[in-house]
Amino acid sequence: MLRLLRMSSTSTGPVSTTIRQKLTEFFNPTHLEVECESHLHNVPKGAEKHFRVQIISDKFEGLSTLQRQRLVNKALAEELKTSVHALRIEARIPSEYEGQKQVDPPRCLGGGNR
Amino acid sequence: MLRSVSFARTLFNSASFNAIRPLSSESARVLTPELKERIQKLVQSGDVVVFMKGTQNQPMCGFSRNVKLILDLHKVPFRDYNVLEDEELRAGIKEFSDWPTIPQIYVKGQFVGGSDIFVQMHQEHEIAKFFDEHGIPSKYSETKKPNA
């Protein structure tokens, strides 16, 4: 219940929505989770700057982890240039996914206020 | 496998992808030849180099701290560069690596990835093997001879 409340606060914001749309369009994923994690960081309430993405798609077949992440970065280049400050990516092919949850993020250390 | 590798190539070359602004737009290009040369020297300043927020003695970001903790666990010394103290480096390294976030890890002058990749390798017990492959001694090296 708490998790649902936490997710609903900013994961339906404009940046979350755009990220979800672009990843859906580019990768046609079988599973996609996009969640804003800015509430865990040292930024104003309602900010959409930190995201986690768990994306399962056969488009990643044969690609190394780095190549997969670069593809996701490329799809979200506009958002990364303008508003997204941190992006956690888990990109797998369907055979690598058994419903496992993406790992938790590390504790924020303040970011140096910059 | 070939299908998705060629998908990746198609994706990178497609009109829709190219219509997207690259990570650094023309107007905001910060990587001057001088800065590029400086960064080139930095990435080669040690076997393992980490561009991070804060320092290895005082990380200022949880993602940067994760990388430091993994390297410490494996007893791999590294050079750290604090992008919070150097705005030019902070912007320049993103363009240099074509990677949008900090931290960034270089091993033997080659970009490895950010904290996600490193944490994943750690969880999949691949860090020791990775350093073995790059000829870097680490605590859990699989090439280490067992004690007599």
Q: In this predicted model, what pLDDT tens digit does every residue of B21-47 receive, in sequence order?
A: 444 444 457 899 999 999 999 999 999
Instruction: Quote the CA–CA distance of A68 and B8 in Å, as a whole number.
Output: 9
Copy the structure tokens of residue B122: 């750690």
**Domain contains B13:** no
Segment B6-24, tens digit of pLDDT:
666 666 555 444 444 444 4
**Inter-CA distances, B66 with A105, A107, B40, B144, Å:** 10, 10, 24, 25
Please list the ranges in chain A whose pLDDT falls under 50: 1-10
Residue B5: what pLDDT?
A: 67
Instruction: Quote the CA–CA distance of B40 and B37 in Å, as a whole number.
Output: 5
Residue B63: name the closest of B101, B23, B109, B94 by CA. B101
Residue A46: what pLDDT?
A: 85
Residue B147: what pLDDT?
A: 56
Backbone angles phi, psi at A94, to 5 degrees: -50, -35
Residue A53: what pLDDT?
A: 97
Per the structure, how many domains does chain B have? 1
- Longest CA span, chain A: 41
Copy the structure tokens of residue A83: 């508003």
Does this model's pTM top 0.80? Answer: yes
Chain-centroid distance of CA A77 in Å reads 13
- Whichever domain contains B97, its CATH number is 3.40.30.10
**Domain contains B104:** yes
Q: Is a pLDDT exceeding 80 seen at residue B138?
A: yes
Segment B51-104, tens digit of pLDDT:
999 999 999 999 999 999 999 999 999 999 999 999 999 999 999 999 999 999
Instruction: Quote the CA–CA distance of A44 and A41 in Å, as a whole number.
Output: 9
Residue B96: name the closest of B46, B23, B27 by CA. B23
Among B21, B60, B66, whose Cβ lies nearest the Cβ of A110?
A: B60
Instruction: Quote the CA–CA distance of B129 and B140 in Å, as a whole number.
Output: 9
Residue A19: name the closest of A53, A57, A61, A63 by CA. A53
**Domain contains B47:** yes
**Domain contains B40:** yes
Q: Which domain holds residue B81?
A: 28-133
Q: Answer yes or no: are the C-beta atoms of B55 and A105 closer than 8 Å.
A: no
Contact B101 A61 (CB under 8 A): no
Question: What is the mean pLDDT of the segment spanning B96-125?
Answer: 96
- B→A contacts (Cβ < 8 Å), by residue, are 1-5, 7-8, 11-12, 17, 20-25, 53-54, 59-66, 84, 98-101, 112-117, 119-120, 123
**Domain contains B21:** no
Contact B113 A65 (CB under 8 A): yes
**Domain contains B101:** yes
**Domain contains B61:** yes
Q: Are strands B104-107 and A50-56 parallel, antiparallel or unpaired?
A: unpaired
Contact B54 A112 (CB under 8 A): yes
Backbone angles phi, psi at B3, to 5 degrees: -60, -45
Backbone angles phi, psi at A108, to 5 degrees: -70, 140
**Domain contains B83:** yes
Residue B15: what pLDDT?
A: 47
Contact A73 B99 (CB under 8 A): yes
Residue A112: what pLDDT?
A: 83
Is residue A62 exposed (0-12), middle (13-18) or buried (19+ Cβ within 10 Å)?
A: middle
